[in-house]
Amino acid sequence: MVAAPPNPLHLVAGDEESSKRRQILDGARKVFLELGFDGASMGEIARAAAVSKGTLYVYFPDKAGLFAAIVEEEKREQGKVAFNFDPARDVDTTLPEFGRAYVAVLCRPGGGSAIRTVMAIAERMPELGSRFYTHVIAHTVDRFAAYLEARAALGELVIDDYQLAAWQFMQMCQATLFQAFIFQANPSPSPERIADVVDSATRVFFAAYRPKQAD
């Protein structure tokens, strides 16, 4: 007996649902950024997304749920970036490569909008802020700290507190770049500018954590 072919209508419906959800999220993001969480209404979001309020409520029960979906999307987007923390790679290669990739993600066009939005609502919705911090920021710090510990075990670094060292390097890589970007004082930094700042951060990090050479 020959199996029946997949139902093409089911696939189309799934595609349409995904497309509609994307349409709603894009409209909601625009409204949240323009009006803030408190100023946004489901009616405004429906208009921005070019859907009816009835359709909007089919996908999301309220604006808190919609905002949570945007946070989750940002978490997934940043999670797509695969920083290479292979413990077999030397620090001279890994640190500047990671620093440049990290700042490029942090300051990518449009990326700051999501971060600003999460920061603005974190006090009112701490569970969302905590979820973003844990799954995006702290997760990267933990992986980087584990890499530093592995390289220290090989004698390449001398570090007492791996978490602190990981935070220090990542914060130095942001210096002069992230705050100016997040507050919209400057646009996304160029790759050349990112490289200059990260190379400086790498030199400072090595000065603090490389084994001292005997005289």
HEC profile of the chain: CCCCCCCHHHHHHHHHHHHHHHHHHHHHHHHHHHHHHHHCCHHHHHHHHCCCHHHHHHHCCCHHHHHHHHHHHHHHHHHCCCCCCCCCCCHHHHHHHHHHHHHHHHCCCCHHHHHHHHHHHCCCCHHHHHHHHHHHHHHHHHHHHHHHHHHHHCCCCCCCCHHHHHHHHHHHHHCCCHHHHHCCCCCCCCHHHHHHHHHHHHHHHHHHHCCCCCC
Counting the structural domains of the chain, the total is 2
- Is residue 143 domain-shared with residue 204, that is, in the same domain? yes
CATH (domain of 36):
1.10.10.60
- Is residue 88 domain-shared with residue 125, that is, in the same domain? yes
- Is residue 85 domain-shared with residue 136, that is, in the same domain? yes
Q: What is the per-residue pLDDT across 170-196, written as a single tens digit (0 to 9) for each? A: 999 999 999 999 998 999 999 999 999
| Domain presence at residue 179 | yes
Residue 53: which domain range? 15-61
Q: What is the per-residue pLDDT across 9-22, written as a single tens digit (0 to 9) for each? A: 333 345 666 889 99
- Is residue 84 domain-shared with residue 47, that is, in the same domain? no
